[in-house]
Amino acid sequence: MRDSVNLEDTKMAKSNGKKANPTKAKAAPKKKAAKVTAATATNNGLPKPSNKPYGQAGLALQGVRILDFTHVQSGPTCTQLLAYMGADVIKVERPGVGDITRGQLRDVPNADSLYFTMLNGTKRSITIDSKHPKGMDILNRLIKTCDVLVENFAPGALDRMGLTWEYIHKLNPRMIVASVKGFGPGPYEDCKVYENVAQCAGGAASTTGFREGPPLVTGAQIGDSGTGLHLALGIVSALYQRIRTGRGQKVLCAMQDGVLNLARVKLRDQQRLAHGPLTEYSQYSEGIPFGKAVPRAGNDSGGGQPAWLLKCKGWESDPDAYIYFITQAPVWESICDVIGEPTWKTDPDYATPKARLPRLKKIFERIEVWTMTKTKFEVMDICNALDIPVGPILSMKEIAEDESLRKTGTVVEVDHPTRGKYLTVGNPIKLSDSPARVERSPLLGEHTEEILSKVLGYSAAEIGDIEKSGAIAPPEKSKAAA
Ligand code: CAO
């Protein structure tokens, strides 16, 4: 503690432009103060910078071991990302059954589905019946050896297994217990929740779609994957705090909260609505009055730069021949030139962002006349050269075939023993000193023996007993073995 006082003094002295002299710290007894070297003071207690080449100093989360009790999508998204960052993720699955997604939406008979394989890469799989006494023994050992337990069971399921926070924390006070639930504490806390329920309850669906149509869910899995990403940040923060406190904590991410966090611009607009119409919504330029709640805004921009989705050459036969076009104010003159309306640069009806607001519909119709003469990629090339922000609607086919995404490791091809090669999304977060570890997903129970012996220290005889007991094998198999 005293050392940190000295370090603070050092920081203050530095920020005052004085040379740091930790040995002169006021309150610290001489003996303690002398221990703070110049090296630790300037490095804030961190080790000396590694002199290994970047990318060869280990992975960011190396040494972190995760007890992964997740299933379906939200939890697995989180633990897969942590595995990509270098954590040792041990996925616990029910013997003979496993994560339900292994068998959902199967495209290759008898092979784990893409649903499963694309969310569980770089993990190890152990099968354990958590309701079997020997299964509980194994879990106890895992709890003692892991840093983080991650789960996204229905509310109460972990407690019903006997794995309450109190129980876990007693076995391992350093354990971080991270959960995804559908809702936080409140009237819905006991509800089971899937992706679209969260999109609806988090405010995304009511603000997505066209004004004249019903609420719409989006294909991006903001409820599941979005909440998994929030949880990963919570876990890493708790690991960081544990360096100071030495103890674990609970991390909770409710899917409703995660969606709302991603839809916050709409809560912004809800509050703006009290002060007048939302002038950047095309509804305003169409003269349609606003109601009490934020309306659906179609393809309007969510920010201060008006934008819309426009047809490109080939739109009649290609459902993805569109470009998203942003009329960013600083490049308005370039837009006028490129679409062939140079007089709009000085015309008082068009020259300023405010003047344009009631005319957005007409403006985008005119820009579309131009974009329809070009392919989306031609529009990209022309507009990017002029600094006009535009985005092509890329189909999943185009993304799967995109060379640059392969090169950056955002799309990765991995090989799987039963399904062969498949594409997965690699690590979207790039760290310059920690290359992503993107590997195939494990088969059900593929690492059971390896984890029992190498991680938990069971002997061969003990593993034999466990196998016979039915704690790690499906019931039929263990009966046949007995
Ligand atoms: N050994 C023995 N039993 C196991 C086990 C194991 N290794 N792993 C799981 N189980 C049991 C659990 O103990 C639980 O049993 P009980 O209900 O009898 O206590 C049961 O399997 C499964 O629990 P569940 O209720 O979580 O699963 P479900 O398929 O009924 O519900 C879901 C799925 C997603 C709706 C629910 O888990 C949920 O609401 N999770 C929280 C929110 C969430 O993450 N949703 C996103 C899912 S992705 O769209």
Taking the centre of ligand 1 as the mean of its atom positions, its distance from the CA of residue 101, in whole angstroms, is 12
Tokens of 141: 């050992």
Ligand 1 mean position to 345 CA, how many Å? 60
**Pocket lining: 154 vs ligand 1, CB cutoff 6 Å:** yes
Q: At what angle do helices 133-145 and 460-469 cross, to 10 degrees?
A: 130
Which atom of ligand 1 is least distant from the CA of 195?
A: 49
Closest by CA to 332, choosing from 360, 310, 373, 374, is 360
pTM of the model: 0.90
Which residues on adjacent β-strands are paired with residue 91? 68, 125
Ligand 1 and 193: CB distance under 6 A: yes
Helix, strand, coil percent content, the chain, rounded in steps of 5: 40, 10, 45
- C-alpha atoms less than 13 angstroms from C-alpha of 226 in its C-beta half-sphere: 24
Distance, in Å, from the CA atom of 306 to the CA atom of 308, rounded to the nearest integer, reads 7
pLDDT tens for the chain, 482 residues long, are 222 323 233 333 333 333 333 333 344 444 444 455 544 455 778 899 999 999 999 999 999 999 999 999 999 999 999 999 999 999 999 999 999 999 999 999 999 999 999 999 999 999 999 999 999 999 999 999 999 999 999 999 999 999 999 999 999 999 999 999 999 999 999 999 999 999 999 999 999 999 999 999 999 999 999 999 999 999 999 999 999 999 999 999 999 999 999 999 999 999 999 999 999 898 998 899 999 999 999 999 878 899 999 999 999 999 999 999 999 999 999 999 999 999 999 999 999 999 999 899 899 999 999 999 999 999 999 999 999 999 999 999 999 999 999 999 999 999 999 999 999 999 999 999 999 999 999 999 999 999 999 999 999 999 999 999 999 988 665 454 44
Name the residue among 299, 234, 264, 309 with its Cα closest to residue 75: 234
Q: What is the dihedral of CA 400, 403, 408, 412, to 10 degrees?
A: 40
Q: What is the pLDDT of residue 285?
A: 86
Residue in 179, 180, 201, 181 with CA at minimum distance from that of residue 192: 181
Structure-token pair, residue 119: 């969310």
Q: Are the CB atoms for 95 and 73 separated by under 8 Å?
A: no
Active site residue 320: no
Nearest CA to ligand 1 atom 5: 94
DSSP H/E element including 397: helix 396-400
Q: Which strands form 307-311's sheet, in the order they lie side by side?
A: 307-311, 322-326, 390-392
From the candidates 112, 224, 269, 300, which is the catalytic residue? 224
How far are the Cα atoms of 374, 377, 392 from residue 313, in angstroms, in the given order?
Answer: 5, 10, 12
Determine how many CB atoms are found less than 10 A away from the CB of residue 400.
13
Query: Which residues are CB-neighbours of 60 under 8 A, at least 6 positions away?
Result: 85, 86, 431, 433, 434
- How many angstroms separate the alpha carbon of residue 30 from the centre of ligand 1? 58
Q: Establish whether residue 194 lines the binding site of ligand 1, counting it when its CB lies within 6 angstroms of any ligand atom.
A: yes
Q: What is the pLDDT of residue 474?
A: 82
Q: What is the whole-number distance in angstroms between the Cα of residue 154 and the centre of ligand 1?
A: 5
pLDDT of the residue at 54: 97
Name which residue sits closest to atom 8 of ligand 1, judged by CA: 94
For ligand 1, say whether the CB of 195 is within 6 Å of any of its atoms: yes
Testing ligand 1's pocket by substitution, the residue of 132, 153, 189 carrying the most ligand atoms inside 8 A of its CB is: 153
- C-beta 153 within 6 A of ligand 1: yes
Residue 27 is predicted with a pLDDT of: 41
CA distance 198 to 177: 22
Residue nearest to atom 44 of ligand 1 (CA): 152
The continuous run of DSSP H or E covering 139 comes out as helix 133-145
What per-residue confidence (pLDDT) applies to 316? 98
3-state SS of 313-367 is CCCCCCCCCEEEEECCHHHHHHHHHHHCCHHHHCCCCCCCHHHHHHHHHHHHHHH
Q: Quote the ligand 1 centre to 171 CA distance (angstroms).
A: 23
Q: What is the pLDDT of residue 465?
A: 96
Asked if 444 and 437 count as a contact pair (C-beta separation under 8 A), the reply is no
411: phi then psi, degrees, rounded to nearest 5: -115, 125
Residue 157 beta carbon below 6 angstroms from any ligand 1 atom: yes
Q: Where are the alpha helices (DSSP H) in 174-263?
A: 195-201, 224-245, 255-262
Q: 283, 473, 464, 262: which is closest to 360 by C-alpha? A: 283
Write the single-letter amino acid at 94. Answer: R
Both tokens of 83, joined, read 């595995």
Decide: 351 and 342 in contact? Cβ < 8 Å.
no
Q: How far apart are the first and last CA of the chain?
A: 58
Distance 160 CA to ligand 1 centre (A): 11
Residue closest via CA to ligand 1's atom 48 equals 73
For residue 70, which atom of ligand 1 is closest to its CA? Answer: 44
Rounded to the nearest angstrom, the distance between the alpha carbon of 478 and the centre of ligand 1 is 24
Q: Measuring from atom 25 of ligand 1, which residue has the nearest CA?
A: 154
The answer to whether residues 88 and 405 touch, using CB atoms and an 8 Å cutoff, is no
Q: Which two tokens stand for residue 406?
A: 């392969």
What pLDDT, on the 0 to 100 scale, is given for residue 477? 52
Say how far apart CA 118 and CA 429 lie, in whole Å: 17
Number of neighbours of residue 437 by Cβ within 10 angstroms: 17
Nearest-atom number in ligand 1 for the CA of 180 is 44
Ligand 1 in reach of 192 Cβ (< 6 A): yes
Residue with tokens 């995304």, as numbered in its chain: 204
As a residue count, the chain comes to: 482
